Amino acid sequence: MDNDADLALVERCRRGDWSAFSELVVRYQRPIYNAAFWVLRRPEDAKDITQIVFLKVAERLGMTKSHDAELDGHPVTIMAIDRATWRDT
């Protein structure tokens, strides 16, 4: 992935540009789903995790009502950090 392009998309997201967020989803949906599926081996769970990751990304970008968090990393990193939460479900 192109880091400079990702950073530009993140900045647009922080300004409330939902089309930029959609571009991030298109870029990272498959790798996040694949990583979740590799761990869980259940398609429905992998889909759920993918949605949760993007909800958290939106929160951390200030695109939801929770404006107190920053984007602490790459979407795949967010998924990896949170895997302890969803692996036990």
Alpha helices in 15-74 (DSSP H): 18-40, 43-60
The reported pLDDT for the residue numbered 63 is 82
Q: Are 39 and 87 in contact (CB under 8 A)?
A: yes
For residue 59, give its domain range: 3-87
pLDDT, position 39 = 93
Tokens matching residue 27? 């870029």
The CATH number of the domain holding residue 46 is 1.10.1740.10
- Strand, helix or coil for residue 6: helix
Q: In the chain, how many domains are there?
A: 1
pLDDT in tens, the chain (89 residues): 688 999 999 999 999 899 999 999 999 999 999 999 999 999 999 999 999 999 889 888 988 764 444 555 566 555 655 554 555 54
Full-prediction pTM beyond 0.85? no
